[in-house]
A and B are shown apart, each in its own frame.
Chain A
Amino acid sequence: MEFGVVELSRLQFAATAMFHFLFVPLTLGLSVIVAIMETVYVMTDRPIWRQMTKFWGTLFGINFAIGVATGVTMEFQFGMNWAYYSHYVGDIFGAPLAIEGLMAFFLEATFVGLWFFGWEKLSKRQHLVVGWLVALGSNFSALWILIANGWMQFPVGAEFNPISMRMEMLNFFDVVFNPVAQAKFVHTVSAGYVTASVFVLGVSAWYLLRGRHVDLARRSIAVASAFGLASALSVVVLGDESGYSAGVNQKMKMAAIEAMWETEPAPASFTVFGWPDQQARETKWAIHVPYVMGIIGTRSLTQEIPGIYELEREAEARVRNGIIAYDLLMQMQDQRGTGVDPALVAQFREHGDDLGHALLLKRYLDDPRQATEAQIQQAAMDTVPTVWPIFWAFRIMAGLGFCFIATMAYFFWRASFRRMSFPRWSLRLGVIMIPAPWIAAEMGWIVAEYGRQPWTVAEVLPTALSVSHLSVAEVALTLCGFFLLYSALFVVEMGLMFKYIRKGPHEDVEYTRAWVERHEALLTAGAEVRK
């Protein structure tokens, strides 16, 4: 593989996005878990729940800081490394990003500071509301970034404008209520909840194994397993929902997940195991389960799921049609100063949907109209992503999803019906499970984003065309820079996490009681001053 600007830019984006995504799921879930714990504290007034809130809150804070720091990069990288993308789809893609800032970032960032600094300045109830607002903000942020991402997967509600040479928004509500975006949102948010639940459960299990902070650890497991079980079920069920929308809207991604080269008669079988061979275009050693794929992908027993060959043939026809669209576009460009002939515009509307496929040829030559037969074939072949990473990433993710359900169900049962007694083997398992949700989340990212290749915006704009006009040296330099900076951050973050987990909660019951009295005295004094 040759490392040009396109490959380096992709590598940088993947590295920074996947690194950012190490912190996001935990933030999403932990914000809610901490808010739940604080709710119990406010309702019951029992000191242990305040200790839990503060302890998990500290870990949340360490994780939140680095999530925010790496998120800044994400907001600006589109313009830095993907300038043509930014120009071409900014009219649609920019809007959810800006709304994310208005609706989500301000909410979480403004209140997270108050949450940590405001224990003495706020009443108990006010402080609780602040905690829930932080959680709400984090979750809104996931909503809007996934609406933006959903549009890249399934670009609805927009149309190409030949004068401004870009996609422009036709219907805002189509963009917001994009079915792919909605399914992705619920799936991703639930995955975040599972991540935090496994984390809380694993750390608590470690305390129990050592016989430390037993009260805190048991209660934490009770909260985490209940919340985690509900979320793990929702991840898998709603993951199935995203599977369905991928089947309807992203056929090539679906075929790659399944490594399905030929169209199978309905209902298609599901390949549990196999080795996809891109060169030979077959899946070796495949083990099939009949019917399952057809049901996931189409919700029916009669509909066919198209295979990779068939989709590639369709793509070839679209490349040819796209060349006609490109030709019309060039004619319109010549008339831009003087006013475009409406007949030309009408003709363009007919072929315009395939313009993106003609742009695939830009990798090989400047003017797609001059493409040779071989180049057209090559462009059609480019629409097939490399199958094995997608095939395997999906299987690892889905397999782990079922493991989470089983683990959470077991702990929930012990917590609810066996008086919170946990056998040592299960506690060890809880500790070992800690990294698993991160692996699942990163695999999910690979399925969704690597599976979208060769497009940045599916069937609209190829990745190779989306990059900025930069030199290899520039991108290589920042890639190294990010690598060094992020590695250092990672070491620091992990060091602090381990330090604070080893240290455990810093309060005991006496301390908390004393604090509560002081706090109440302060509030009454404050109220009297105001009178």
Chain B
Amino acid sequence: MILFELVPFEFLRVVWWLLLGVLLIAFALTDGFDMGTGALLPFVARTDTERRVVINTIGPVWEGNQVWFILGGGAIFAAWPPLYAVSFSGFYLAMFLILVALILRPVGFKYRSKRDDPAWRNFWDWALFVGGALPALLFGVAVGNVLLGVPFHLTPDLMPIYEGGLFGKLFGLLRPFALLCGIVSLSMLIMHGAGWLVLKTTGEIQSRARAFGQTAALIVLAGYALAGLWLAFGISGYAFVTEPPHDGPSNPLLSEVTRSGSWLAAYALRPWIIIAPVMGFVGTFMARRALSTGGEVSPLLWSKMAIFGMISSVGLVMFPFILPSSTEPNSSLTVWDASSSHLTLFVMLVVGLIFLPIIMAYTAWVYRVLWGKVTPEDVEDPERHAY
């Protein structure tokens, strides 16, 4: 086990920071359209057959897509244990709400069409709406809070303590800027879901999806621009006073951090990262155009680019910060002091390099097999649908 020392600790930390981004983006790109489709379900589909068409577009793939979220949780645990400990216990009730939403989803998919009672089906349709819309909103709120800094500190034994009372913690998350981020992420995933429905459906459902998608794209453009201005003029960033060694042991308390300047100062430091927000704006703009001009595949592709750009832009302006503390900045978690050990990062990288390509290959194969529209006739035929 000397092999791992050939790969520098500092390099592994940066790679795992990148992989964290890759996992979050993969989750947003895949499960994102499931959540967007769920959020659109009661509105783009009015009759029972229409709703079953919509549900059956994501029916065969949502399960695999959701694993990106679960893997995200597992990877944070394995590669960034302090982040896993601080964020999930700190956002306790919000996490609980996300779990409830995500539990309702699989059950809703499976059970909705197993009984004929309209009240039963209607109940699960709204459960699927909540299961799609609520996490989409809360993930954005969480990102907004990370940018603002979160009220926690670490004891000398590195026990995370999150300040605030029972509901103070939950409602404390709903700060105006964080809510704006929530609206951006919800609209972003609705736009993405609309792109998916345009690809997978025809007729009425498709044209309704185009209309909703265009409105969502407009909200994304305005909201993302507003959030950028807010970050530039209204929110201060974080910076090291004394930077920890990049290959030192993971103890966030060993560095000194202060709130100063702006997150957007990163654009002056690393001008090339401007490409991320540009992708965000261009992707959203083009997705909207493609939705209105009748593209079948292009709206989904452009919205993928938009999501990639917007999520990357958050990570890139914050680097090397991962989770800053607003009440005791010295406790802030960064790439250099909140990772797993050298060996664990190396082992996990090897495992990831073996399995991620395999996963992508068979996922691509499954999507290829399932290529094509879902029509009302399919839903009538018990051999061609399952939900």
List A residues at the B interface (Cβ < 8 Å).
Answer: 61-62, 65-66, 68-73, 75-76, 78-81, 83-84, 86-87, 90-95, 97-103, 105-107, 109-114, 116-122, 161, 163-166, 168-172, 333, 336-337, 468-471, 473-474, 477-478, 481, 485, 489, 492, 496, 499-500, 506, 515
A106-B71, A110-B63, A110-B64 known; A469-B78 Cβ under 8 A = no
Given A62-B111, A83-B86, A163-B249, 6 more contacts at CB 8 Å?
Answer: A69-B107, A72-B66, A78-B88, A83-B88, A84-B85, A118-B370
A80-B92, A99-B351 known; A166-B107 Cβ under 8 A = no
Check A94 against B111 for contact (C-beta < 8 Å). Answer: no
A98-B74, A118-B60 known; A68-B366 Cβ under 8 A = no
A130 to chain B, nearest CB (A): 9
B103 to chain A, nearest CB (A): 4
What residues on A are CB-neighbors of B352 within 8 Å? Answer: 102
What residues on B are CB-neighbors of A92 within 8 Å? Answer: 344
Check A94 against B369 for contact (C-beta < 8 Å). Answer: no
What residues on B are CB-neighbors of A117 within 8 Å? Answer: 56, 59-60, 370, 384-386
CA distance A314 to B74 in the complex (A): 37
CA distance A81 to B351 in the complex (A): 28
A76-B99, A101-B67 known; A165-B158 Cβ under 8 A = yes
Check A65 against B107 for contact (C-beta < 8 Å). Answer: yes
Quick one: which of A83, A92, A100, A116 has the most chain B CB within 10 A? Answer: A83
At the interface, yes or no: B373 with Cβ under 8 Å from chain A?
Answer: no
Interface CB pairs A-B, < 8 A, 24 = A72-B99, A76-B99, A79-B73, A80-B95, A83-B89, A86-B81, A90-B82, A90-B340, A97-B77, A99-B348, A101-B70, A102-B355, A107-B362, A110-B359, A113-B59, A113-B60, A113-B63, A114-B370, A116-B386, A161-B341, A163-B249, A168-B340, A170-B1, A172-B1
CA distance A117 to B71 in the complex (A): 24
Partner of B60, one of A75, A114, A171: A114
Check B160 against A469 for contact (C-beta < 8 Å). Answer: yes
- The stretch that binds A, out of B161-169, B260-268, B312-320, is B161-169
Check B89 against A81 for contact (C-beta < 8 Å). Answer: yes
Check B85 against A68 for contact (C-beta < 8 Å). Answer: no
1/0 per residue, CB under 8 A from A, across B168-205: the answer is: 01000000000000000000000000000000000000
B17-72 CB contacts (< 8 Å) to partner A:
56, 59-64, 66-67, 69-71
Q: In the complex, what residue of chain B is closest to A114 when comparing beta carbons?
A: B366
B242 to chain A, nearest CB (A): 10
A81-B89, A161-B341, A478-B93 known; A113-B64 Cβ under 8 A = yes
B27 to chain A, nearest CB (A): 12
Check A112 against B63 for contact (C-beta < 8 Å). Answer: yes
What residues on A are CB-neighbors of B341 within 8 Å? Answer: 91, 161, 164, 168-169
A65-B109, A117-B59 known; A109-B85 Cβ under 8 A = no
At the interface, yes or no: B79 with Cβ under 8 Å from chain A?
Answer: yes
A106-B64, A111-B366, A468-B92 known; A72-B384 Cβ under 8 A = no
Count of chain B residues near A, Cβ 8 A: 80
At the interface, yes or no: B106 with Cβ under 8 Å from chain A?
Answer: yes
At the interface, yes or no: B137 with Cβ under 8 Å from chain A?
Answer: no
At the interface, yes or no: B292 with Cβ under 8 Å from chain A?
Answer: no
CA distance A75 to B385 in the complex (A): 30
List B residues at the A interface (Cβ < 8 Å).
Answer: 1, 56, 59-64, 66-67, 69-71, 73-79, 81-82, 84-89, 92-93, 95-96, 99-100, 102-103, 105-107, 109-111, 114-115, 156-162, 165-166, 169, 249-251, 253-254, 340-341, 343-344, 347-348, 351-352, 355-356, 359, 362-363, 366, 369-370, 382-386
The 7 closest A-B pairs by CB, nearest first: A90-B81, A79-B88, A94-B78, A94-B77, A110-B64, A113-B60, A101-B71
What residues on B are CB-neighbors of A506 within 8 Å? Answer: 382
Partner of A169, one of B77, B347, B356: B347
Quick one: which of B60, B70, B162 has the most chain A CB within 10 A? Answer: B70
Quick one: which of B69, B110, B162, B249 has the most chain A CB within 10 A? Answer: B110
Check B103 against A94 for contact (C-beta < 8 Å). Answer: no
CA distance A71 to B95 in the complex (A): 15
A79-B85, A86-B77, A102-B359 known; A471-B249 Cβ under 8 A = no
Partner of A105, one of B67, B87, B103: B67
Q: In the complex, what residue of chain A is closest to B74 when comparing beta carbons?
A: A98
Check A87 against B158 for contact (C-beta < 8 Å). Answer: yes
Partner of A79, one of B63, B87, B343, B366: B87
CA distance A102 to B95 in the complex (A): 23
Check B351 against A102 for contact (C-beta < 8 Å). Answer: yes
CA distance A103 to B369 in the complex (A): 22
What residues on A are CB-neighbors of B343 within 8 Å? Answer: 168-170, 172
A65-B111, A496-B111 known; A86-B85 Cβ under 8 A = yes
Check A79 against B71 for contact (C-beta < 8 Å). Answer: no
A424 to chain B, nearest CB (A): 32
What residues on B are CB-neighbors of A172 within 8 Å? Answer: 1, 343-344, 347
CA distance A70 to B100 in the complex (A): 10
Partner of B92, one of A78, A97, A101, A474: A474
What residues on B are CB-neighbors of A62 within 8 Å? Answer: 110-111, 114
Q: In the complex, what residue of chain B is closest to A333 when comparing beta carbons?
A: B156
Check A101 against B75 for contact (C-beta < 8 Å). Answer: yes
A101-B67, A109-B66, A118-B370 known; A474-B93 Cβ under 8 A = yes
A198 to chain B, nearest CB (A): 24
What residues on A are CB-neighbors of B169 within 8 Å? Answer: 474
A161-B341, A489-B107 known; A106-B73 Cβ under 8 A = no
